[in-house]
Amino acid sequence: MKVERRTVDLSSYPDLVVIYLGMKVNAITGVKTLLGFGPKISDSAAAAPDGLLLHESIVYSLIPPHVGMRQYWRDFESLERWARSEPHLQWWKSFLRNSGGTGFWHEAYFIRGGMEAIYVDIKIPLGFSAFAPTQPARGPMFSARARRDGDEKGSAPSPVSEAKLYDSRP
């Protein structure tokens, strides 16, 4: 039997972004956090936000529980607009205050070149962080746009301000 080889024509998607995301349980309380996010993520993808071309769920491991998704976005602007809107904005703000016994990460790949990533409470290096040096996600490394562009010029303000995140006052 002959093998059928196929490819795709991505010329209609000149600004395509592929993003892998994951949530990994770090403590027993993280199981509740992880299970609580599942329906929210499913509902959000089912709402078909503008620019989301495809959403696929992924199980990275069962022990410890580590699940995620792969998403294809028409362009970074669509992804960023969704990330700065509800419900994602509230999820992110809440998660950055308390990760609920989990760790979260994403890695984004841009068809025009470049990649960027963030790892929050990920205890064992994975993805890029397993082979490349890491640094604090502060200053010019705080937002996805700044990480992608290499600086903060022209960046819209981050959905969660760095000052508020790291301000220890109540």
**Closest residue by Cα to residue 64 from 94, 20, 18, 31:** 31
Q: Which tens digits make up the pLDDT trace of 112-160?
A: 999 999 999 999 999 999 999 999 888 878 778 878 887 655 556 666 6
pLDDT digits (tens, 9 = 90+) for 74-110: 999 999 999 989 988 888 888 989 999 999 999 999 9
For residue 158, give the DSSP letter.
Answer: P
Residue with tokens 């028409």: 74
Give pTM, 2 decimals.
0.87
Q: How far apart are CA 12 and CA 140, in angstroms?
A: 32
- What's the token pair of residue 116? 């960027």
Pairing of strands 17-25, 66-73: antiparallel
CB atoms within 10 A of CB 125: 12
Q: Are 56 and 70 in contact (CB under 8 A)?
A: yes
Share of the chain above pLDDT 90, in %: 68
Instruction: Please report, in angstroms and rounded to a whole number, the separation of the first and last CA atoms in the chain.
Output: 67
